[in-house]
Each structure stands twice: as C-alpha cells, then as structure tokens.
C-alpha cells in the first residue's frame, strides 16, 4: 500500500478520533489495531468501569432509600448479570465507532504494527507506506514486584471488572484515580471493608490538597482504612483469599483480604514497535516528546495520547488526535493551545478539576485568593440526599483572574465544563459569580464559591 495519506497505529480514543478526522478531510486513511476497536478506554477502562461505578451508586441509593421513606426488599448483586450489562455497553459503543470509521472512509487493518521508517509500517507480511504516521498506542498497567497478577485474588484494573463475586474485603495498592474509583464502586456494591495503601503522603497525588483531604475524610467515615506513606511488600494468594504485607514507619503489617487490587499507574506503549529505529526520540520513561502540532522528532511521525507527556486521559488523546489529523491535512492553525485539560475522578462523590491547584498557583507567583462553598448548603443536594463535598474557586487577588476550579460533588464530572469554558475565555472570578445559575441545581455551588471569594456568598457565612 503506497498511496496512503495517514496511517494511525492504535484504535483507542486518540487513534480512532484521529482516523475519523483524517477521513473527514478526504485523506486516504488506515487504522491499525492489534486488539479491539476502542482500545483500553472503551473495552477494559473508562467505559466498563463507569458501568460498575453507576451500578454501585444505584445499589447504595436503594440501600439508603429508607431516609426518604423508600423501603425496598433486601437486595443483592448478581455480578454475572452486571458483567453482562457492562459487556453489552462496550459492544454497542465499539460497534458504533466501527460504523463511524466506515462512514469516514477509514480502512481498519487488524494486526501489530512495526514502524520501519519515517513513512513506512509493517503489519505481518504487509508493508504500508504513508505520508504521515500517527502513533496512538496508549499505555499498559504497571505490575510491581511482589504482586504478580493472577486476576483471581491479585487483580489489575482489568481483572476487577471480570469478577464473579463482590469482594468481602478488598486491599487496594495505590491511592490514585483508578484504584479509588474501583474501590468506591466495590464499596457501594457491598464490599464494606476496604483498605487503601498509598506510598505518598496524600491520596490522589498531584491533585489539590483540599480535595484529597476532603475525600479521605468521607471515605474514612464510610469505613475505609487509609494507610498513607506506606510501602507495599507482597501478596500471597490462596484459594480463599490473599495475605497482603506492607510497611508503615518501619513497622510491617499483614492484612487478610478476599482480593487485592493493584493500581499504581501506567506506562506508555512506545517500546518494541520500531520507533527508536525510525529515529523517534523517547525520554527516559518511554514517553515521546512532541511539539504543539503533535510531531515527534521525526516530522512525518506524530504521537498522541498516553505515549506523550501530560495526563493520561481519553479526552486529551482525542483532542490531540484531532490536532494531528488536521496538521497532516495541511492546517497551519491546528495546535495544542488549550488553557486546561480537565480531570475527573469518578469516586463517590466525584471530583473534577480544571486549571491550577492552590499549590501550583502559589508556585507560579500568584497572590492567591480562595472561595469555598459546601455542597450540603444547596437545596438540590439536600433534596437529593447527597450532601458530601465542596466547591473551591482559585483566583488571582491582584487581577481577579480565574486560575482554577475544583469540585467534589455529585455529578462533578458534568459541572466542571463550565469552569473549562471560563478558563479558556480568560474569565474573572467575578464573571463566574455574576452569571445567573438555575435554581435548584448543583451548578449553583460554582457561583456561590466564586461569590465567596469576594465575601458575597448568599447561602454561606462569609469570613474575611
């Protein structure tokens, strides 16, 4: 194949989006994938985990219905049926993506791709020559010494989504996004004993400290045991459970659990596919440095998503895929010029962030001013019976420029988009506070937090 304009390697949310956009622009495009269309996100990551998380919240809501006068017969969780529901969602979405690729004129090639030069790829016995190559090979779960995955008792994030039972007690190695999301899901589904072992001095390392501390208090109130600055040593699985050993302040501990979930991060899938041989530079951790258009050190080879620097997020990969495809089509203006990439943690309650954390703002020399507002002060939250969490707005005291918004609340994943638009438009905190928000809603909390920064919140006592 020698008349290809764009060859995309990897069909995750970065790769398939890049391929569709390239096809939409009339470029002859091929998409190469050795696994399933949709990659990790659609098949074993973002989407299936959200099916579990949503089911857990529904089950927990039914359990707590008596507070609202709703009395249900004692319920149970059929994991086989839940897994079947999750698989059905995945099948529908991946089928939809396949239809979109076909409509855009993209040819999908099944197989493992090896880059053999700046414009050439080999897939099995087939050689493809393309004017531009977009590498979107994603990332893989990190397996740590002492915790080999058997996907029965010692689980990866993939294995936990295939369980045939709700864990009786669960140990989670790693207090990051994925580990806490799945821990909350299992807790809501009926696992009442959850222990989180985190090596750093806070949950969700790198996130705004107030958010991390707030979530820790909520989880501990629900019965979680949180061990910070703890080092995991090993897991010994048996037919009935697993013994997990860890160390805190020089003292060794052992926990007997039914299951152990290991979630300590992911590494880029950039090695062993011919990139360095083709001249592409990788950093010491295997990430591919790119410019504002997504080009690697080899001009005809772009890289997007988890193999590049920045947060490993599906929406980041998708946006980078659009930029790379448009650059390949000759656009002079396409670039990674966004102000912020929002982040979401689908815990219970959810956490969503956009812009700078308080620590980052101070480190950049801003004179920081904060506005906070409690979820529990909102009429909608009280009516819903979900009052945990708070809103935090960060502004520059000198100019009133909006620097960051951090939300811990039900549906924070939806609420944060208002903050993203405000940051992209260089809004002030006053702009956010003066915008009329509908009542009763959870979005009012953003407005109230912005007003609180100026000492003008209505539904809170303003403190100097």
Q: How far is CA 294 from CA 66, 141, 324, 377, in A?
A: 53, 24, 6, 44
Chain segment 67-120, per-residue pLDDT in tens:
899 988 778 999 999 999 999 999 999 999 999 999 999 999 999 999 999 999
pLDDT above 90 (res 33): yes
pLDDT average, residue stretch 292-318: 98
Q: Is 236 helix (H, G, I), strand (E, B) or coil?
A: strand
Q: Whose CA is closest to 279, among 258, 260, 294, 300?
A: 300
Separation of alpha carbons 218 and 228, rounded Å: 16
Tell me whether domains 4-141+267-328 and 154-264 share a fold.
Answer: yes
Q: Which CATH code, of 3.30.390.30, 3.40.50.720, 3.20.20.140, 1.10.20.10, is assigned to 343-453?
A: 3.30.390.30
* Helix H or strand E segment including 316: helix 314-328
* Cβ–Cβ under 8 Å, residues 270 and 285: no
Q: What is the pLDDT of residue 66?
A: 87
**Could you tell me the pLDDT band of residue 463, with boundaries at 50, 70 and 90?**
confident
**Could you tell me the pLDDT band of residue 1, with boundaries at 50, 70 and 90?**
low
> Cα angle vertex 129, ends 124, 132, to 5°?
120
Q: What is the pLDDT of residue 176?
A: 97
Sheet holding 390-396, edge to edge: 343-345, 350-355, 402-409, 390-396, 368-374
Separation of alpha carbons 437 and 34, rounded Å: 47
Give one word for 110, left, alpha or beta, with left for phi > 0 and alpha for psi -120 to 50: beta
Separation of alpha carbons 251 and 316, rounded Å: 41
Number of residues written out for the chain: 464
Q: What is the pLDDT of residue 72?
A: 87
Separation of alpha carbons 93 and 102, rounded Å: 14
pLDDT average, residue stretch 338-361: 98
Task: Give the domain ranges of the chain.
Answer: 4-141+267-328, 154-264, 343-453
Q: What is the pLDDT of residue 323?
A: 98
Q: What is the pLDDT of residue 103?
A: 98
**Paired tokens of 447:** 């407005």
Q: Which CATH code, of 3.50.50.60, 3.40.47.10, 3.40.50.300, 3.30.1330.10, is assigned to 154-264?
A: 3.50.50.60
Chain segment 255-287, per-residue pLDDT in tens:
999 999 999 999 999 999 999 999 999 999 999
Query: Which residue numbers are catalytic?
Result: 439
- Cα atoms in the Cβ-side hemisphere of radius 13 Å centred on 396: 18
Who has greater pLDDT, 218 or 75?
A: 218
Separation of alpha carbons 286 and 282, rounded Å: 5
> Bridge-partner residues for 261, per DSSP?
155, 172
CATH class of 4-141+267-328: alpha beta
Q: What is the pLDDT of residue 392?
A: 98
Chain segment 141-200, per-residue pLDDT in tens:
999 999 999 999 999 999 999 999 999 999 999 999 999 999 999 999 999 999 999 999
Burial zone of 274 (CB within 10 Å; 0-12 exposed, 13-18 middle, 19+ buried):
middle
Q: What is the pLDDT of residue 367?
A: 98
Q: What is the pLDDT of residue 75?
A: 83
**Which residues have CB under 8 Å from 133's CB, separation 6+?**
6, 7, 8, 9, 115, 118, 119, 121, 300, 301, 302
Which residue's entry shows tokens 């004129």? 105
Phi and psi (nearest 5°) for 291? -90, -170
């Amino acid at each position: 194949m020698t008349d290809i304009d764009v060859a995309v390697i990897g069909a995750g949310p970065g790769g398939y989006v890049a391929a569709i956009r390239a096809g939409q622009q009339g470029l002859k495009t091929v998409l190469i994938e050795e696994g399933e269309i949709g990659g990790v996100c659609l098949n074993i990551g973002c989407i299936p985990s959200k099916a579990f998380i949503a089911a857990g919240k529904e089950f927990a809501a039914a359990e707590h219905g008596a507070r609202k006068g709703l009395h249900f017969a004692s319920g149970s969780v059929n994991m086989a049926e839940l897994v079947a529901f999750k698989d059905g969602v995945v099948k529908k979405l991946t089928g939809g993506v396949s239809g979109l690729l076909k409509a855009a004129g993209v040819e999908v090639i099944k197989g493992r791709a090896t880059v053999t030069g700046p414009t050439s790829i080999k897939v099995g016995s087939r050689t493809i020559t393309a004017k531009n190559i977009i590498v979107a090979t994603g990332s893989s779960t990190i397996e740590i010494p002492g915790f080999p995955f058997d996907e029965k008792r010692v689980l990866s994030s993939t294995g936990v989504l295939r369980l045939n039972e709700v864990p009786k007690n669960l140990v989670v190695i790693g207090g990051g996004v994925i580990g806490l999301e799945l821990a909350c899901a299992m807790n809501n589904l009926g696992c009442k004993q959850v222990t989180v072992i985190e090596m750093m001095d806070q949950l969700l390392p790198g996130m705004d400290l107030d958010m991390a501390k707030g979530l820790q208090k909520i989880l501990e109130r629900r019965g979680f045991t949180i061990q910070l600055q703890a080092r995991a040593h090993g897991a010994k699985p048996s037919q009935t459970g697993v013994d997990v050993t860890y160390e805190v302040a020089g003292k060794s501990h052992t926990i007997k659990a039914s299951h152990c979930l290991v979630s300590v991060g992911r590494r880029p899938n950039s090695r062993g596919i011919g990139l360095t041989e083709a001249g592409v530079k990788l950093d010491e951790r295997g990430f591919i440095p790119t410019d504002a258009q997504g080009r690697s050190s080899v001009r005809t080879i772009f890289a997007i998503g988890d193999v590049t620097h920045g947060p490993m997020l599906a929406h980041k990969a998708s946006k980078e895929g659009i930029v790379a495809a448009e650059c390949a089509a000759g656009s002079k203006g396409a670039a990674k010029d966004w102000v912020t990439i929002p982040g979401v943690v689908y815990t219970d309650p959810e956490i969503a962030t956009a812009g700078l954390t308080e620590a980052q703002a101070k480190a950049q020399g801003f004179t920081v001013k904060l506005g906070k507002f409690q979820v529990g002060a909102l009429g909608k939250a009280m009516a819903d019976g979900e009052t945990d969490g708070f809103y935090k707005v960060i502004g520059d005291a000198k100019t009133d420029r909006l620097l960051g918004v951090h939300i811990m609340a039900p549906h924070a994943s939806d609420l944060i988009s208002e903050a993203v638009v405000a940051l992209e438009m260089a809004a002030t905190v006053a702009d956010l506070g003066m915008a009329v928000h509908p009542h009763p809603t959870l979005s009012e909390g953003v407005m109230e937090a912005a007003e609180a920064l100026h000492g003008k919140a209505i539904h809170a006592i303003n403190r100097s």
